[in-house]
Structure 1
Amino acid sequence: MTATTRTLHLPDGSAATQDYALEVTPESAGWRHSGLRVLELIAGGRHTLHTGEDEVVVVPLSGGLVVACDGQTLTLAGRASVFAGPTDFAYLPRDATAELSSEGGGRFALCTARARRTLPVRHGPASGVPVELRGAGSCSRQVNNFATAGVFEADSIIACEVITPGGNWSSYPPHKHDETSEVESELEEIYYFEVAPGPQGQPGLAYHRVYGTPERPIDVLAEVRDRDVVLVPHGWHGPSIAAPGHDLYYLNVMAGPGPERAWRIVDDPVHAWVRDTWTEQDVDSRLPLHAPDRAAAHPPTRPDQNGATRP
């Protein structure tokens, strides 16, 4: 295993701190903008969060949460697990103090990005999260676009969830967003993974690939397990491959230096042709992969076939 792989693939527990099961900051990642913490609270547990320079999106991974900040109290119903459908979430501004409490306990992602503007505290309802089906055939996946550009206002953070049925590939074709141009945005990206267990609780696995260009080399081929993280500072990334029998979830957190909050990507030209094959295939019938009542309340959409700005 190379030093690059060890640095950019963070197995579960390897980035834990006294307060968090996972803590990735711009400083620890060796970059400037994106961060992620995972907070675990026991039943009745409480936590004080100082946002500092960061805007924060609080996303329940399992369980519910009450967030008190700037004179507002937001109650997040949450969900049983990341595979139970979209969740409601909370937005917290920079330079704020929030009190987080959970009557039943749970696990909560704190997605962060360095922010210039101070925006108001807000609640994002689960019913307002656009659910998108991308790709087709064995490249079918589901995207919960809860805090993407054009969906939810923020200063710089872009965040979404991707659910990939067992045996499928997502983040494919490989793509990158590490330069500023008319067709590409410079964005640092965090992948946080959860892997569904087998029918008797057997632990699952997945694989994730990151590779660079001659000018900016990077080389990661990681076997990821439940609650692992992969950091993508630059380069082509994908596929994320779900092992058969084990559905794969990942949370993406992105931010970058550009004044425009936008998610523009370019495909690796060697693999871009695969998009053309999707017109002849159906979306995986297992999708959307969440409770039927949520699917009925907010039916999923499928993007145009060209999908040029969608990983």
Structure 2
Amino acid sequence: MEERQLYVPGGAAAEGPYALRIDPGRAGWDHSALRVLELAAGGGQELDTGDSEWIVLPLNGGCTVQVHGVSFELRGRENVFGGVTDFAYLPRDAHARISSGAGGRFALAGARCERRLPARYGPAPEVPVEERGSGVCARRVHNFAAAGAFACDRLIAVEVLTPGGNWSSYPPHKHDEQVPGEETRLEEIYYFEIDGGGLGYQRISPSRPGGADLLAEVRSGDAVLVPDGWHGPSIAQPGHPMYYLNVMAGPGEEREWRIRFHPDHRAEGYR
């Protein structure tokens, strides 16, 4: 892929009420999707889930999610730097409505899937929080829909918060081959927000001839697509903490996150 296809600047993939809409067709792959829904006070949006499962994740503000006669009240949060949030899982082949009395912004992380699981509420206190890495590579991971944390058919999604000046998504790693017990093939979307109007940098380097190759300056509202390749580091500007939402899915029979680290960057304690 060319660089312009991997880096999606804020607003470049806006559509209707969505500040960002990346579906598999737009990304040029088969499974992973991400939308960022913006609702004014008192606003609402209908959603037909189609052949995909979705998680509604508040970025800022709270909302009500209604699906097949069930209603979930999401308290949400002030912003993505304000801690973990509750969320709602929507199954494939369903009709849902998302509404917000005070307004807000809501990520819809999705994946094409086969099984139709029940709609469910994900409480914030049950989200596993992981302190990963050390020193200038320390970061916090909210494993709200990690493979072992919350049941989905295909979807894997986590949030990563990186202190200003730190590196995360390091050492560079990849998951673009299906190797049983060693690596899973997963398409990945990074969605960024930077505190205080700062910036960050995202690197993807090729894992094979002609593979993904990108060095992008990223700001709030930007996204990066990772169809293949070694990805990382993600670098936060000093004084400006970085948030990114990772959305992943792939064709493997097992829903797993198995990665290989770049052999030239095996820095112990940074993983």
Scaled to the shorter chain, the TM-score interval is: over 0.9
Give the equivalent residue in structure 1 for 2:49: 51
Counterpart mapping for 1:1-311 below 5 A: 4-181=2-179, 182-197=181-196, 203-272=197-266, 274-275=267-268, 277=269
What is the DSSP-based 3-state SS (H/G/I as helix, E as strand, rest coil) of the residue aligned with 1:127?
helix
Deviations, residues 146-183 of structure 1 (Å, cap 9, x unaligned): 00111100000000000000000000000000011121
Deviations, residues 185-242 of structure 1 (Å, cap 9, x unaligned): 0000000000000xxxxx2000000011343522100000111000000000000000
The structure having more radius of gyration, on CA atoms, is 1
What is the DSSP-based 3-state SS (H/G/I as helix, E as strand, rest coil) of the residue aligned with 1:6?
helix
* Contact 1:216–1:235 (8 Å) recurs in 2: no
Question: Which amino acid in the other structure matches residue 135 of structure 1?
Answer: G
* Contact 2:162–2:241 (8 Å) recurs in 1: yes
* Offset at residue 95 of structure 1 (A): 0.5
Q: How many residues matched?
A: 270
Which whole-Å CA distance do the structure 2 matches of 1:106 and 1:55 have between them? 22
Deviations, residues 31-79 of structure 1 (Å, cap 9, x unaligned): 0000000000000001100000010000000000000101100000000
Deviations, residues 94-113 of structure 1 (Å, cap 9, x unaligned): 00000111000000000000
Which whole-Å CA distance do the structure 1 matches of 2:142 and 2:80 have between them? 11
Which whole-Å CA distance do the structure 2 matches of 1:55 and 1:263 have between them? 18
Which whole-Å CA distance do the structure 2 matches of 1:241 and 1:26 have between them? 27
- Segments of structure 2 that go 5 or more residues without pairing to the other structure are none
Which whole-Å CA distance do the structure 2 matches of 1:216 and 1:126 have between them? 42
Which whole-Å CA distance do the structure 2 matches of 1:92 and 1:18 have between them? 21
What is the DSSP-based 3-state SS (H/G/I as helix, E as strand, rest coil) of the residue aligned with 1:154?
coil
What is the DSSP-based 3-state SS (H/G/I as helix, E as strand, rest coil) of the residue aligned with 2:2?
helix
What is the DSSP-based 3-state SS (H/G/I as helix, E as strand, rest coil) of the residue aligned with 2:76?
strand
Which portions of structure 1, spanning 4 or more consecutive aligned residues, are displaced by more than 6 angstroms?
A: none
Which whole-Å CA distance do the structure 2 matches of 1:9 and 1:15 have between them? 11
* Offset at residue 18 of structure 1 (A): 1.6
* Contact 1:146–1:160 (8 Å) recurs in 2: yes
User: TM-score, with normalisation over the residues of structure 2?
Assistant: 0.98
* Contact 1:148–1:159 (8 Å) recurs in 2: yes
* Offset at residue 248 of structure 1 (A): 0.1
User: TM-score, with normalisation over the residues of structure 1?
Assistant: 0.85
Question: Which amino acid in the other structure matches residue 183 of structure 2?
Answer: E
Question: Which amino acid in the other structure matches residue 83 of structure 2?
Answer: G
Which whole-Å CA distance do the structure 2 matches of 1:47 and 1:93 have between them? 17
* Offset at residue 88 of structure 1 (A): 0.1
- Segments of structure 1 that go 5 or more residues without pairing to the other structure are 198-202, 279-306
* Contact 2:20–2:37 (8 Å) recurs in 1: yes
* Contact 2:208–2:229 (8 Å) recurs in 1: no
